[in-house]
Amino acid sequence: MPSINNKIIWITGASSGIGEAVAYELSEKNCKLILSGRNIEALEKVKSKCNCEVAIVPFDLADFDNAQSNTKKAIEAFGKVDVLINNGGISQRSLLAETDFSVDKKLIEIDYLGTVAITKAILPHFIQNQNGHFVTITSLMGKFGSPYRSGYCGAKHALHGFFDVLRMEHQKDGIDVTLICPGFIQTNVAKNALTADGSKQNTDDNATQNGMPVGVFAKKFVKAVERNKFEAYIGGKETIGVFLKRFFPKFLHYYVLRSKVR
């Protein structure tokens, strides 16, 4: 099993939640970290709690035009990047028929296109080094759907298609791809989720509150990356949905409809 110790790792969405917890976990493994997100003050706070060398490269995932320049800054921080953790994104809690199209567009721009832009910007660096690892945090919603998350599910499903192809085309270049699919994790993902008009929900839900502690998730995340898994499903009983989707899709359909999903 390859070790992640001493790697240079770039994390997007590192100012809170999963990105923050993963940063702390990796800091205990003597990694050098590059932290990105929109909130500079929050990134500085995360940096202060890390026990390793940390650089900060703030940017907005929706700022596609500066993907190349932001990637250049990240590479220059320590001279190279070994691993890119695509974690930045936003969720959704609204019925499809009530959701303004601008919300669907924003979800695609941030969760899918923003990640693709940064990935394609750093890909030549990985090819030149004949080494690199893309770790993309999607969701169980990238494997099956749920009410109130139509645009979010669409964006996360798209990530799976893109990175499966990237793995196929660039395995020859020494590049690895791992897709991490969290279930319910104790973060502010529900509070920050977009509603029908694009405003934040600002309330939590029981499933998220009772989900896996984010620190536990971070440990499982690192193990999955070190094992170079193609995909890893991390959470509670909700992870069985991946199996049901493949073998019993109608059963999953009615099971989800009977479940409390918000």
Selecting among 112, 148, 152, 233, the annotated active-site residue is 152
| Torsion angles phi and psi, residue 32, rounded to 5 | -100, 130
Residue 221 within any structural domain of the chain: yes
Residue 1 within any structural domain of the chain: no
- Assigned token pair, 37: 């997100």
pLDDT tens digit string along 72-81?
999 999 999 9
pLDDT tens digit string along 223-252?
999 999 999 999 999 999 999 999 999 999
- State the Cα–Cα distance between residues 163 and 170, nearest whole angstrom: 10
**Mean pLDDT within 118-140:** 98
pLDDT tens digit string along 152-166?
999 999 999 999 999
Sheet with 83-86, strands from edge to edge, namely 54-56, 32-35, 8-11, 83-86, 132-137, 175-182, 231-234
- State the Cα–Cα distance between residues 180 and 237, nearest whole angstrom: 16
CATH number of the domain encompassing residue 223: 3.40.50.720
**Mean pLDDT within 102-119:** 98
Asked whether residue 50 carries a pLDDT value surpassing 70, the answer given is yes
How high is the pLDDT of residue 69?
A: 98
| The total number of structural domains that make up the chain | 1
**Mean pLDDT within 121-139:** 98
Mean per-residue pLDDT of the chain: 96
**Mean pLDDT within 173-196:** 96
pLDDT tens digit string along 10-22?
999 999 999 999 9
Residues 6 or more apart whose Cβ sits within 8 Å of residue 151: 92, 99, 103, 104, 107, 108
Question: What DSSP designation does 108 have?
Answer: I
Residue 46 within any structural domain of the chain: yes
Q: Is the pTM above the cut of 0.85?
A: yes
Q: Grade residue 1 by pLDDT with cuts at 50, 70 and 90.
A: low
CA angle 33, 31, 83 (to 5 degrees): 65
- Assigned token pair, 98: 């009530």
Residue 45 within any structural domain of the chain: yes
Asked whether residue 260 carries a pLDDT value surpassing 80, the answer given is no
Q: Grade residue 207 by pLDDT with cuts at 50, 70 and 90.
A: confident
What is the distance between the terminal CA atoms of the chain, rounded to a whole angstrom?
Answer: 38
Residue 2 within any structural domain of the chain: no
Q: How far is CA 196 from CA 65, 100, 117, 193, 246, in A?
A: 27, 6, 26, 10, 30
The owner of tokens 């953790």 is: 85
Residue 70 within any structural domain of the chain: yes
Instruction: Determine the length of the chain.
Output: 262
Residue 246 within any structural domain of the chain: yes
Residue 76 within any structural domain of the chain: yes
**Mean pLDDT within 163-178:** 98
- The percent of residues above 70 in pLDDT, for the chain, comes to 99
- Residue among 207, 178, 151, 191 at smallest CA distance from 83: 178
Asked whether residue 26 carries a pLDDT value surpassing 80, the answer given is yes
Asked whether residue 212 carries a pLDDT value surpassing 60, the answer given is yes
H helix or E strand, kind and range, residue 162: helix 150-170
Asked if 152 is an active-site residue, the reply is yes
Per DSSP, what are the bridge partners of residue 56?
A: 35
**Mean pLDDT within 158-186:** 98
**Mean pLDDT within 202-215:** 91
- Tell me the residue range of the domain where 64 lies: 8-258
**Mean pLDDT within 97-103:** 98
